[in-house]
Structure 1
């Protein structure tokens, strides 16, 4: 099986490159492994487990080397919340999920090879499902980079590293200014670091 995988990889690298044309629309299927994270806030913390993130989206090329991307990603994971209040520690364990809706884009550094590096990012929202039910919608952003492998077919394979960050309001911090106390919004920030693969299908 290992020999067949090496042969397939060698074929993808040796195949002639099919350039992404202006006006192309790509249907992308996403899959990645996401590492665990610990989110701290004023009165406790939440441990977010590792897991598998998956989703789908569309990528439109207004120019040959730049794209606009709209996608949906879902990350099912375990959550452990520890909240400190009134000299006690309240702990809640269970399963939750992050649902990301992001719009952004990529820039491809096409040098004539069939392995094309790229960088990209996006902005959007994260709908977080907690262990006890209910959901909360917050701001999210993404940074990513990788390599897209192109072939003569309409199918492409991308290897990508990414980070998606969610910002949730978590109380206020008080600072003393010239005119007295000033309340400033505090945020709990999570970071989902992922390594994965994208399978693209050219719809043009």
Structure 2
């Protein structure tokens, strides 16, 4: 926690620094590794397995150090569902073998803030985005409220081309819960409506800035 506070202090100390020309437009091509999550309901649970996330974003600099970005992100993954077996010893096992493909999708809009450093080619940033997310595939396709937070550094190779290295946290509220499974002689397994997806990832983006 102390290390996180120290890093946050360094970032906040640079508020107001110039990172881009006001009115310029950026194109970001995203790629990252998103870690797994698990949604539980008593003895049953869904695993949202880790995978590669990719996407694209359009960024507009309303001020030299502040921008608004609209982006789409997608992660193809597997979502195995686990529940107790119908016979003794009632061990928990996967009940949707061969039918567990899914994709996590986001459409988000939000703001980024860039900060000054001693090296003008290294520009730390933080950002917060709001929008919609949905898990397409075998579990659910309904869009729900989603948001993400990201922090990283923009490394400028030239005035046009940069690489963004970042860590991110994403969530879709109530992303799972509408699916009910029935087992003869056992009953139903239903995931609550408030089962939300929480995922952390590490990634990068190729950024192209145009004045």
State the TM-score bracket (shorter-chain normalisation): 0.7 to 0.9
Q: Separation in 2 of the partners of 1:81 and 1:158?
A: 35
Residue 117 of structure 1 aligns with which residue? Answer: 124
Query: How far apart are residue 61 of structure 1 and its match?
Result: 0.6
Using a 3 Å threshold, how does the CA distance of structure 1 residues 34 and 106 change in structure 2: closer, same or farther?
A: same
Q: Separation in 2 of the partners of 1:49 and 1:157?
A: 27
Residue 139 of structure 1 aligns with which residue? Answer: 145
Residue 30 of structure 2 aligns with which residue? Answer: 30
Residue 188 of structure 2 aligns with which residue? Answer: none
Residue 165 of structure 1 aligns with which residue? Answer: 171
Residue 106 of structure 1 aligns with which residue? Answer: 112
RMSD: 2.6
Q: 2:167·2:201 contact (CA, 8 Å) conserved in 1? A: yes
- Scaled by the length of structure 1, the TM-score of the pair is 0.76
Residue 161 of structure 2 aligns with which residue? Answer: 155
Residue 195 of structure 1 aligns with which residue? Answer: 202
Using a 3 Å threshold, how does the CA distance of structure 1 residues 41 and 104 change in structure 2: closer, same or farther?
A: farther
For structure 1, the residue ranges without an aligned partner over 5 or more in a row are 1-17, 172-184
Q: 1:41·1:170 contact (CA, 8 Å) conserved in 2? A: no
Residue by residue over 1:35-85, the C-alpha shift from the partner in whole angstroms, topping out at 9 and shown as x without a partner, is 11111246732101111000001011101111111000000001112357x
Q: Separation in 2 of the partners of 1:203 and 1:152?
A: 11
Q: 2:75·2:103 contact (CA, 8 Å) conserved in 1? A: yes
Greater fraction of residues in strand: 1
Q: 1:117·1:147 contact (CA, 8 Å) conserved in 2? A: yes
Residue 92 of structure 1 aligns with which residue? Answer: 96
The answer to whether structure 1 residue 81 and structure 2 residue 87 are counterparts is no
- Scaled by the length of structure 2, the TM-score of the pair is 0.73
Q: 1:40·1:189 contact (CA, 8 Å) conserved in 2? A: no
Residue 62 of structure 1 aligns with which residue? Answer: 62
Q: Separation in 2 of the partners of 1:43 and 1:63?
A: 51
Query: How far apart are residue 111 of structure 1 and its match?
Result: 2.8
Q: Separation in 1 of the partners of 2:126 and 2:19?
A: 17
Residue 136 of structure 2 aligns with which residue? Answer: 129
SS at match of 1:152: coil
Q: Separation in 1 of the partners of 2:193 and 2:107?
A: 23
